[in-house]
Each structure stands twice: as C-alpha cells, then as structure tokens.
Amino acid sequence: MINSITIQSADREYQLLKKELSDLEIKLQSLSDKKNEYLRDIEDFNLQYTLYLGELIENILRLKKDILYKKTQSMNNQESYAETNKIIAQIQEALFRLENTLNILDKSDTRYEETFQLYNELQEELKTYNEQLNSLEDQLYSFDHIENYQSQYDFAKKEYQEYYKEYSQIKDEEQKFSLNETEKLELKSLWKKACKLCHPDIVSDNLKEKAHEIMQLLNEAYSKKDIEKVKSILKDLENSNFFKIISNEIDDLKLIKLKIEEYQNKIKNLQFEIENIKNDETFEIISDKTKWEQYFRDIKLNLTTQKQSLESEVKKLRNEIHEYFDLYLFSKNIVNITSQDKFEQYLESCYSEFENFFQSKDFKELHTDIEIILEIINQNNVIKNNSSKIINSFIILLAQFCEQTDSISLVNNLLKYLPEGSFKLQFEAKLIYITKNNYSDELIKILNLLQDSARIDEYNTKAIKAFLYFFQESLQQFQKTQNEIFAKELINTLIEQKLNFEFLQDNFLVGFFETISDFNIPQSLELVAQHLEQISSKITICNPDTLNIIMESSSYSQALKNLKHPTFETIRNISFHYIHSIGDPQELYDRLQRGEKIIDDENLLYKYLTSFGSKHKQKLDSAFELIIDKIKNKKFDIVDWGCGQATATMSLLDYAKKRNITLEIENITLIEPSALALSRGLLHIDVLKQKSYNIKAINCDFDCLDETQIITLMPTTLHLFSNILDLESFSLGNIFFKKVSNILTDDSIFVCVSPNRNDKLNSRLDHFYNYFNENFDTSLISSRNSDINGHKRYEKIFTVRRASQEISEIQATLTTPHIYQTLIAELDQYKQHISPILDVDNLEMAMQNDPEYIIFKVRKVADSLTTKIYARYESNLESISFSDKIRYLSYQNKVLTKTMKNYLQTIRTIGNVGVHEERSDFNTQQYDAHMMLFALISLVKELCERKFI
C-alpha cells in the first residue's frame, strides 16, 4: 500500500514538473519572440533611417573628407611658404644695405655702377620671389592652429569609404527585395512560425547547433526581406519534424528539474534584456511607427544645416586653394617665340591651365596683361593666319574675357586675329560704339551686326549680352555729359526698332524697354547692371540628389505607355503634336537658350525634344555605327553625362532595336542638373528598354558632382557626352578630368558629339580627348567636323584602356644619373628644341618641389617632337593619338630607330596617369622625373644627330 502511494506521489510530481517545464518553454519562447520582435523593429527603424538619411550622411562624410584633404594639401605648402618668406627677408636686408651704400657713394665712384646694377638685379629677384609667395598664398588655408591633418584625413577617408560601402549594400538589398505592407505582414507571420519549430533554447541538446544554424539562416532571410527563402525554411521544418521539444523528450526527474532551473534563469535574463530595450530613449519612437517620419525629418533638418556649413567651407577652400598659373611667365615665354608653329605648340601645352586661370579672374585685374600679350604677338608676328584651331580658341577666349572693354587698341588687336563668327561680329559692333562720339547714325548697323551674331550662335544670349554692354557704355557716356535728352532719344529709337530685330524680342528682354523708358540715367544703368548680372550668372545644382528623382507619371507617360511600337520618332512626335497644340510660341525656343538652359518648365521638355531631338539622334546614330561592335555580345555600363531627357541613351536603345541588336546593359547612370528632365529621362528609358536595368539618376551639375556615386561595375563602360562638352556652363579642367578618369574601367568607350559652332567651343572636346590621349592608353576611333544632313557636327570618339605596361620593365632598361644638375646642364644644350614647353631654367626648383610638373611637361615635349616628325609623312594629325604616331613611325614608316622608339615609349608610359597615379610617393616621383629627363635627353640627342630636328 505504501509503495502504491509513493508511486502515485512520484507520478504526480513528475506530471507537475513536466507541465511546469512545458509552461516555461512556452514562456521562454514567447519572451524570446518578443525580444526578437523588438530587435526586428529596431533593425527596421535603422534601415529606414539609413534609407531616409543615408545620402545626406554620405555627403557629410564626403565633405569632411574633402575638407581635410584640401587642408592636408595646403599644409604641405607651409614649409615652402616659410622658406620663401625667409629668402625675401634676406633679399630685403641686402637691398637695405645696398641702398645705404648707394647713398654714401658718389655717382662718379667706379663702385657706384656695379653696386647699382647689383641693387637692380636683387630688385628683380625680390619681385620673382614675391610672385612665388603670392602663388603659394593662393594654395594655403588659414589654420587657427597647426594640427596633423594627415591622420585626420586618413580617418575621415576610411570612415567615408566604409559608410559608402555599407550604404550601397543596404540600397542594393532594399532594391532587390522590396515588399508591400501585405507581404511584410506575411513575412513576419512566416518567420514567427519557423522560429517556434527550431528555437535553439527549447530543442534537445544534441540538436542545438543545427537549430542555431537554421535560425541564423532564417534571420538573414528575414533581414533581407527574402520571403521566398523564409517560406522554404518553414516548409522544410514542417515536413521534416526534425527538432524534438525538450519537454517531450526527457523523463528523468533530475534532468527535468535542471532544465526548469535553466529556463527560469533564461527567462529572468530575457525579461532584463527586454526592459533594457524598452528603457532606451528612442524606444518610444521605434515602437510607434507613426512617429518615424517626423523624427527623420527633424534629424534631416539638423544634418542639412551641417551639410550646408560644410559646403560653405568647401567653397571657401576652393576659392583659397586653386590651381596656379603664372601669367607673367606665359608673357615672358612668348617673347622668345618667333614662329606660328612654336606658338601653337606652346598654347597646346598650357591652354587648359590658361583657360582655368582666366575663369577665376576679373577683367579689371588683367586687361593690361592682355594688351601686353597681344602686343607681343603683334611684334613677333606669330599669328600669320587664323587657320589654327588652338590659336582661334585662344583669341576667342581673350575676346570673351574682354566683352566689357572700352579700350580701342585692345578691340582692334582682337579684331585683327578673331576668326569669322559671332564674336567677330560682336567686336565689330563694339568698335563702332567705342570710337564714335555720336553713333545714332550707326545704331542700325550695330543692331544688324548683333542680329547676325545671334543667327550664327542659333540663340540670342550672347548677342543680348553684347547689346547690354553697348547700352551700358552709351548711358555712361550720356551720364558723363549730363545729356538726358540723347539718352531718351536712344531708348525711344530702340523701342521703335525692337520689332525689326529678333534678338531684341527675346523673352529675357520682355518688359525691359517699357520699364526703362520711364527711368532716368542712374535708374536705367542699375536696371542694365541687373540684367547683365542675371544673364551672366551660372545656376549651380550643388546638392546632389539620387533619392528623390522618380520616373515621371503623367498624361505624357500614359501616352508613351499606350504606344504599340515605341521608337525615338514616335516619342518625339508626341512632343511635336503637343507643342503645336499650344501654338508653338517663339518664347519657348528663346527660353531654351539653344538647349543650354537647365529646364524648369514641363513645356520646355516638349520644346527641346521637338527642336533638337532629331538633330541629336542623327549625329548619335552615325557615332553608334562606329562603336556598336565594341559593345555587342558583352555586358557593359552606361554613363550618360548631362543627359537631359536621356536623349543619348534613348537613341542607343532605339538604334539597337531597329537593327535587332541585343544590348547587355547592366547599369545606367544619368547625370543632369534638371530634376524635371531626369524624371522624364527615366520614363523614356523605361519605354524603350530591352530588359530591366539598374539605373541611378544623379540630379547635379558637373562642378559639384561626386564621381563615387556613378555606377561602373562592368569591365566595359560607354560614356555618352551628347551636346554637353561644348557648353561653358561647367569648368572643363583637371578637376573634371580627374572625376572622369577616377571611374575608368578596363575598357572605356567615349562618344562625344556636339554642334560645330566655333573653334573655342570645339577645343573643349579636343582638350577633353587630349587629356586622355596624354595620360592613358587611348585609341581615337573618329574625329569628324563634317555636317550630317545639314546639321553641324563636331565629334570625338575614342577608347581608353588602363596602362598594362609595368614600370619595372622600364626601370631595368634605364639608369638614373646621381646628380640631376648634370641632367639639367646636358638638357640645356637642346633648349631650342624643348622651350618654352619645358622651362629648363626652372627645372632644378621643380625637381625639388614638384617633380610631377617635369613628368607632365616632358611628355608634352615628346608628343610635340613626335607630331613634328609625323607631319612630314601624314596630314591626319588631329585624328591620331600619340601612341599611334609612335607605332606608325616605328613599324609602318620605320623612320625611328629601336632606341628612339624605346625612349618615346618610356616617356609615354611613365607619364601615363594610369600608371603614375599608383606612384604618389614623392621620392618615387623624383625618380620617375629623372628617368624621363634622361630618356628625353637621349631622344633629342639622337633626333639631332639624325637631323630629324
């Protein structure tokens, strides 16, 4: 009987403990689910935070990195600045002593002349060092205190790169697995079910490791929103019945009691962790999704303020640290040039630096320098004809800079050399009104010249600007003579003549004449100044936006979607019919400013495609004929620069469709300052696409572009520059060239097509190509300036490959002299063949401070010498690259010896940015400069011996 009671008692205890264990399992799983749910909410919150604010945070980190980089650069100039200051102080002290000596000496004293000559020489030397000091000041930043900016920059760079990588991955995953609200709820339900079947805490010990493994896969799939993967895991768990719940598996009372104790401890820990999560200050916001949007907005406001502050600092740095160009040295060099060929070579070697320098200066600062330069050109007679593109570009640049001049000699000198075109007509008009005291009789002639210039430009902006300068000059003359009557007569005559001249009816001048008719001279001058500022101002889109640009959804998009067989022409026809339905007003065309305006009105989108779409398409189709074999049957990316409505990409898709060509496009980057045009561009690509593409739309201009946002993941990238490189709305210099070269892939194909307007604008395409030709392994496919179906065309199509040659191979063939002064002394013997491109007198200083200057200039000299030899045999100088000239002269024509070819290849390769950028160490750069000088001396010496030069 006692045994029976004992058994029943033990059985009751067993049942109670089993139930307690089972209850604890349920509670443990419930708490675990709650904790995981909270963690999932936090993870989702962080994801939304990153997606909402990531671009802003990325920009802030990039700006911090850029600021520290510029400060680091500036700090590197501090030592040179201090040294120059020290030398200046020594010269000033010497001058002071010499001045005292001259005051003591009698002029008849034989020592007086010698002392006076030394005094003058030191004055010149002081002037040179002061100019050098000023140039260094331009590259310095005023630091509040000296810090090690290099280590800060290294940290900021690493932080930016890590965040950029993380943010990119999050965006990619979000794009790959995008769920609606119903799917999100389903995912959560599936995940919970699966968790209950494989929770590591409640399965038998021998299966815990496997349960952890499956749980990890489940959580990863949930984080990525991969609903199909979660379904698959749940299905496997339900079918396998693999995991056994502990409470169903153990019978030993001792083990049951141990498990109960273990579960109680785990429950206690979970409750503590859950309380910690709930006590976090942000949990209140995280737990209420309705509060997220406002929370993100508040943070965005603070971050935007921080970003604007950093942008202001960057702008300040850009103004204080700029590229240095020595106009005095330029003038000094051209004094020694006596032939047009030499002048052309020299301009080729420094035109980009010259142009960038002028863009940062005001006319009042430099008008005297320009007059001196033109006077030297006159005296040396170095411009005998205006058939040279580089000289024409140079003269147009000077004319453009001197638009506001009233100097008769300056205008006459410019007119002597200006090529036929709009600028010459504008300066002919200018000469009339600055040389006539009473030009009322000549007014119609002035207006006719400006109207003709507008017709050549195919838009009115430059003619209007020239007219405003003319009007301003006239009013200022009337103000000097206090002649209000003549001013009124001029205004009344202009109002009468307005309808006879199209450019005066431009939308920009609407209301101008009517308003000015009621003003006195000071008020009129103020209104003219306002219009000049407005017409000269450059709109900058400096807040790159890639998140807020979405595909257009409108009646227009519906019309495109309704097209049975969409083509470029049928899409353009919709714009054409719309424009004609509203009367095709002239003011829309005027507002486009020949397609250069950043579009801010939907009607302008229709007008642009109607007016310019067909021209662009024909030129692009002709270009695609030449490169289609290079992109067929391979995966590639597209970067559409200044894409507008994605006209170039549209044209390529249409071209391929009509020829049944399948294009394996993976990624497309659209870069455009007009948000309206970008949105429509996304629509155009969507209508014409062959498959789905990964598209990134960057709403930004080129000057503020961050090239790290551009997607170039494939080995081949097609760069489309359609009607953009000829626009002067952005700086085409080393900063932009670096942005493009930083994203070069193994094979980069460039299609650059613009209208053939004038040599200066064409030279922008030439300089763009020349940068790559001089610094990378470049092959020119086409260089055409012929019209196509009546449409003017200027074209450069080329490929760029990263250099594959190894520097070590060249190092094995060359030795470096121990003392570089010996090299310079030897090079001085051949000065007449390398000056003024390479300034031998400044080589020693350059070797100490800037060996990259030597590397760049030696390559320029080698290119110039090769071109001179090549020109004896062929006339296609503009359509062949430096490397192709070397190959032609070495293998086809066989005029170069093997050693000459080796020297040229050495210079070309070491000077190749594609190789040289990996060799940023200063000592290595000095070694490279030594090798290049040695190769140049050897080359020139052999060329002279064989009478090639």
Mean pLDDT rounded to a whole number for the chain: 81
Q: 841 versus 676: which is more confidently predicted?
A: 676
Rounded mean pLDDT of 940-948? 87
> 82-86, 492-496, 936-940: which range is least confident on average?
82-86
Contacts of 564 (CB under 8 A, 6+ apart): none
Rounded mean pLDDT of 935-939? 88
Is residue 812 pLDDT above 60, yes or no?
no
Is residue 273 pLDDT above 90, yes or no?
no
Look at residue 719 in the predicted model and tell me its pLDDT: 98
Amino acid found at 617: K
CB 710 within 8 A of CB 696: yes
Q: What is the DSSP letter of 280?
A: S
Q: How many CB atoms lie within 10 A of CB 328?
A: 12
**Given the structure tokens 């030279």, which residue do they identify?**
763
Look at residue 795 in the predicted model and tell me its pLDDT: 95
Is residue 809 pLDDT above 50, yes or no?
no
For 371-425, what is each residue's pLDDT tens digit?
A: 878 888 988 888 887 678 889 889 988 998 888 888 888 899 999 999 988 999 9
Look at residue 479 in the predicted model and tell me its pLDDT: 86
In the structure, what pLDDT confidence band is assigned to residue 734 with cuts at 50, 70 and 90?
A: confident
Ramachandran angles phi, psi of 818, nearest 5°: -70, -30
Find, among 53, 549, 546, 38, the residue nearest to 296 by Cα.
53
Rounded mean pLDDT of 288-313? 81
DSSP for 165-232?
A: HHHHHHHHHHHHS---HHHHHHHHHHHHHHHHHH-GGGB-GGGHHHHHHHHHHHHHHHHTT-HHHHHH
Is residue 322 pLDDT above 50, yes or no?
no
For 443-482, what is each residue's pLDDT tens digit?
A: 999 999 999 998 888 778 889 999 999 999 888 888 887 8
> 348-357, 491-500, 597-606: which range is least confident on average?
348-357
For 872-888, what is each residue's pLDDT tens digit?
A: 888 777 667 787 788 88
Give me 905's structure tokens: 């290849």
Rounded mean pLDDT of 675-700? 94
Look at residue 164 in the predicted model and tell me its pLDDT: 63
For 546-555, what is each residue's pLDDT tens digit?
A: 667 899 999 9
Look at residue 808 in the predicted model and tell me its pLDDT: 42
For 888-933, what is each residue's pLDDT tens digit?
A: 888 777 888 888 888 888 888 787 754 555 555 677 778 788 888 8
Ramachandran angles phi, psi of 545, nearest 5°: -125, 120
Give me 547's structure tokens: 């998140």
Look at residue 538 in the predicted model and tell me its pLDDT: 66
Find, among 352, 413, 230, the residue nearest to 774 by Cα.
352
What's the burial of 157, exposed, middle or buried (CB within 10 Å: 0-12/13-18/19+)?
Answer: middle
CB 479 within 8 A of CB 429: no
Amino acid found at 415: L
Task: Decide: pTM greater than 0.75.
Answer: no
Overall size of the chain counted in residues: 949
Is residue 286 pLDDT above 90, yes or no?
no
Return the percentage of the chain with pLDDT > 70, whole number: 84
Look at residue 805 in the predicted model and tell me its pLDDT: 41
For 428-454, what is each residue's pLDDT tens digit?
A: 999 988 887 666 678 999 999 999 998
Amino acid found at 712: T
Is residue 85 pLDDT above 90, yes or no?
no
In the structure, what pLDDT confidence band is assigned to residue 814 with cuts at 50, 70 and 90?
A: very low
Q: 856 versus 542: which is more confidently predicted?
A: 856
Spatial strand order in the sheet of 794-801 = 694-699, 664-672, 635-641, 716-722, 747-754, 794-801, 777-784
Enclosing H/E stretch for 696:
strand 694-699
Look at residue 325 in the predicted model and tell me its pLDDT: 64
**Given the structure tokens 């603070």, which residue do they identify?**
302
Enclosing H/E stretch for 268:
helix 253-279
Rounded mean pLDDT of 157-164? 70
For 621-669, what is each residue's pLDDT tens digit?
A: 999 999 999 999 899 999 999 999 999 999 999 999 999 999 999 999 9
> 222-226, 737-741, 868-872: which range is least confident on average?
222-226
Is residue 192 pLDDT above 60, yes or no?
yes
> 6-20, 455-469, 817-831: which range is least confident on average?
817-831
* Distance of alpha carbon 801 from alpha carbon 749, whole angstroms: 9
Ramachandran angles phi, psi of 767, nearest 5°: -70, -35
In the structure, what pLDDT confidence band is assigned to residue 74 with cuts at 50, 70 and 90?
A: low
Is residue 571 pLDDT above 90, yes or no?
yes
What's the burial of 507, exposed, middle or buried (CB within 10 Å: 0-12/13-18/19+)?
Answer: middle
Look at residue 653 in the predicted model and tell me its pLDDT: 97
Look at residue 669 in the predicted model and tell me its pLDDT: 96
Largest CA distance in the chain: 149
Find, among 416, 420, 451, the residue nearest to 431 by Cα.
416
Look at residue 810 in the predicted model and tell me its pLDDT: 42
